[in-house]
Structure 1
């Protein structure tokens, strides 16, 4: 393979990974039909003791498609899915696509206000939700275009006697028991599965033009935006994923499904990739360290896509050594920077490989990753995936930066979104000549490995110095007492902003501000050292475990505003 001067990363590609792929120009849901045809009896889903084969999953998805169409779903209608990782989340996702719908993934933790905004903005006509979320859904329904709510329960797919006991557990956990009535605009899952024929009309899909998904971005600035992802965006990113993990075998792998499918990262790397490769998914509806360790020990997953906070949680469990984690062969970590300490420790415990990847909702999501089995480079997000181009633009320009110069990371490839739903102006500001402006600051070295220094919006400017929170966090993570940390710039009347570190300590550990100050001064230039430390029991996080730095900054601003008005 000749070295491409403009894409220096190609020279590091192992021979098993192609630099370009011939993608299937098919609707995303065709992968399910192919896997069910090739391996009908293979287990597709393991859910809390219940197993579902590929044939059963395909048949249930066809039933869902026919039911949607019987309720009047037309091609292009939006179907909101507000479920944790359960069999119904997979069935309704593929069923909606088979019927010609566009899926709108919806976080089950949304408040009424957030849910109403997303349903209205997307114009969703159908909503699939968990039974305990029905009161929330019903209260906003009248202010939206939603005509039908399909109600699913965790117990629907639990084996006996768990299905009998679950309502009691639910009442204890959530102090709510909902018994939905089937009729009118409300449809109970088990009745849907009984009544649906499975005879549906296959819609004509143009994979490169037709949307499969409206995926809302986190909304850390302003209101969340619906990212328009086509069938081809998702197919291409899923096929890139399988080529990157070239040692995985069709129909042989077991994947830990802990990343929520309502987040694009879990949806692609766990759900869509598993369906395409006929893998068994072990679904975990809620992150609970004990439950996850037991699932790994019993189900022997070989692949474990995750996020740093998930790996940190497992590593710091007091009884970690009681569990066998040796089945894990490969993990790609995303959604937040992976501290090198965590990577080393996790590989030591499992004997597998844990590498950092990078992506955005707007790119389906993955654009870069370290190689799993060779040529990886610590501290980097790795190199662009096949058919993915990436550059560093100088700040606020489209001029390419020099090697090693910090600027904005931009990406181009078949996985890049069509644009933002009903927001042409914001689309134009984010897509420039096919390049997606990521808003992340980084640089590329001479070998084509990329480094993220921070979000453009998270950079701290203190006393005229540019400070990247990630660099400070990396140092703090090296301290033995620290379990989790996030660094933010908070308002300061003298320096403009000052560096504050929020700290969660490991159980049984103690440390003072003076200890941390001394530790940081040994490892950082004086202007980067946090001026304030705040110890907390926990840090605010998204559903994927990404620490919400912006929420902490907003809290500080509110505190300051309150002080000024007093």
Structure 2
């Protein structure tokens, strides 16, 4: 056993290699926490607090309202909201009604919205008044029949609620929503129903709780089918790894967007399963984060590297006490070692790197929080998660130390892609999910991602992984962020280009960076081109969009060539 799964030997004694997963709907977490901690706070939102008893009652009310409007088991309900109480109520309400939730990014353009609504077949959407015009403009091109519209002001404390319309006017965000039978206010749906329990028969193993869209940067976004059992499993696994976390006692910083599967699992589902207070952050703003740390004292802070980078480099850092933060799991992008050390120094807590993907609900690996952590590693597979490195061309498992594609198998792995059997068959083989990430495992069972298969740079026949070059650039004292791509080169085929953001008040020349890299990297890996920027393009979860940098670089080169020829 230990040879086949060398990682198990490195599990802390408190984490069992195999766990029990209740075969219940995902909503059971909320019912359980409301039964055990009815008067504990479930949500903190800009000064307003909601207890577990209240959250469960509103989720039941919302479920009744959906059912009354014809939402049936298996129907898709889209939620297009930032982190607000309405997001949590809509999510659990839709699940209580037996619907499948379709989480929708509030930043989506009309084109992206039309694709997702048509692909999922969602007839109902819950959205914000300030997004109403965008949603209503696509309605005729999609199956949408019902729009449920809410406002940030709906769940603000009394005085903030009074002031909110004036703030909206000043910022010119005062949309006029034409309410009627097809466009209804969120609060009126809640008020029309009694908070009686809603019981819909759910088959946890087979019924789809969530359609989560992914892969939009590599073509058309696909709906990942995650069952109630998948999402329950990932929350239970998370609890086993965070074994010191106390039920009913934690406060989670909800800065990751809940419409992204990483925030949905590590903030919302996990938070509700342990009856934590979830501090909802509608927009990541460092000053507001500091303010919430001062006021609410979060103990857990799941995030992305860019979130921690923004905090530790902020001018006001010294004015705030971050010692309340005990545990942070960083995901969605590689965590630079420098950032980990600095953050742990400031908080006295633990910051570890993890790994996951939407198709796995999403987490599959993390470094032990209170055990042996390995810098640069995504850590050990989570309980009941089997992993191997395979040769992409033959599918054969490779021995420790050899680089290949990471494949994972476990109770959190998706059922497949919605209505895409061929694409499902390409990545799901005998229960094994091919991740598209290139990595290796060491003798102790710690895994390392060297890069996305698609991001690898091939220069003069050599494979170069952007992550390795970025890690080296991060070590330079003037560098705050770095991203590396391959650009065309007449001699080597491709060469390395680095985009660099400097820390406030610091600079370095190309020669200095070159010298820094030369001491740490083989000659063929050293960036040959640099571009200095004030910021890098990122997703909502803080992942740098390398593909966008490639596109911008390509456009720039076309423009330069045209200028030369004219």
TM (norm. structure 2) is 0.98
Q: Which residue of 2 aligns with 1:485?
A: 482
Instruction: Return the alpha-carbon distance in structure 2 between the equivalents of residues 143 and 43 of structure 1.
Output: 41
Q: CA deviation at 1:180?
A: 2.2
Q: Tell me if the contact between 1:181 and 1:188 (Cα under 8 Å) persists in the aligned partners.
A: no
1:380-459 equivalent positions in 2, closer than 5 A:
380-459=377-456
The count of aligned residue pairs is: 563
SS class of match (2:488)? strand
- Residue 189 of structure 1 deviates from its aligned partner by 1.4
**Residue 146 of structure 2 corresponds to which residue in structure 1?**
148
Structure 2 spans left out of the alignment, 5+ residues: none
C-alpha distance after superposition, 1:330-359 (max 9, x if no partner):
110000000000000000000000000000
- Name the counterpart of 2:83: 85
Note the alpha carbon deviations across 1:71-114, whole angstroms, 9 max, x for none: 10011000110111100000000000000100000001111111
Partner SS, residue 220 of structure 1? helix
For the 8 Å contact 1:364–1:417, the answer to whether it is kept is yes
Q: Deviations over 1:343-397 (max 9, x none)?
A: 0000000000000000000000000000001111111000100000000001322
Which of 464, 473, 476 aligns to 2:473? It is 476
CA shift for structure 1 position 564 = 5.8
Aligned pairs (5 A) from 1:296-335: 296-335=293-332
Measured after TM superposition, the shift of residue 176 of structure 1 is: 2.4
The answer to whether 1:224 aligns with 2:217 is no
3-state secondary structure, aligned to 2:343: helix
SS of 1:10's equivalent in the other structure is: helix
Q: CA RMSD in A?
A: 1.2
Q: CA deviation at 1:511?
A: 1.4
Partner of 2:518: 521
List, as ranges, runs of 4+ consecutive aligned residues in structure 1 with deviation greater than 6 Å: none
Partners of 2:451 and 2:467 within 8 A in 1: yes
Q: Is the 8 A contact 2:57 2:196 kept in 1?
A: no
Partner of 1:64: 62
Gaps in structure 1 of 5+ consecutive residues: none
The residue aligned with 2:53 is 55
Please name the residue that 2:507 is paired with.
510
Q: 1:262-297: per-residue Cα shift (whole Å, max 9, x none)?
A: 000000011001111111111111000000011112
The change in CA–CA distance for 1:407 and 1:184 in structure 2 (over 3 A counts) is same
Partner Cα distance (1:56, 1:182) in 2: 26
Corresponding residue for residue 349 of structure 2: 352
Find the counterpart in structure 2 of residue 17 from structure 1: 15
Rounded Cα–Cα distance in structure 1 between residues aligned with 2:118 and 2:546? 28
In 2, are the aligned partners of 1:491 and 1:557 still within 8 Å (CA)?
Answer: no
- More deviation in 179-188 or 357-366? 179-188
Tell me the TM-score normalised to structure 1 length: 0.98
Q: How far did 1:145 drift?
A: 0.7
Q: Secondary structure of 2:15's partner?
A: coil
Deviation per CA, 1:423-479, whole angstroms, max 9, x where unpaired? 111000001111100000000000000000000000000111110000000000001
3-state SS in 1 of match to 2:527: coil
* Structure 1 partner of 2:493: 496
**Cα gap change, 1:171 to 1:408, in 2 (>3 Å):** farther
Tell me the alpha carbon deviations over residues 193-214 of structure 1, each in whole angstroms, 9 at most, x when there is no partner: 2223345752211000000000
Match of 2:207 among 182, 194, 210: 210
Q: Please state how far the C-alpha of 1:319 moved relative to its aligned partner.
A: 1.1
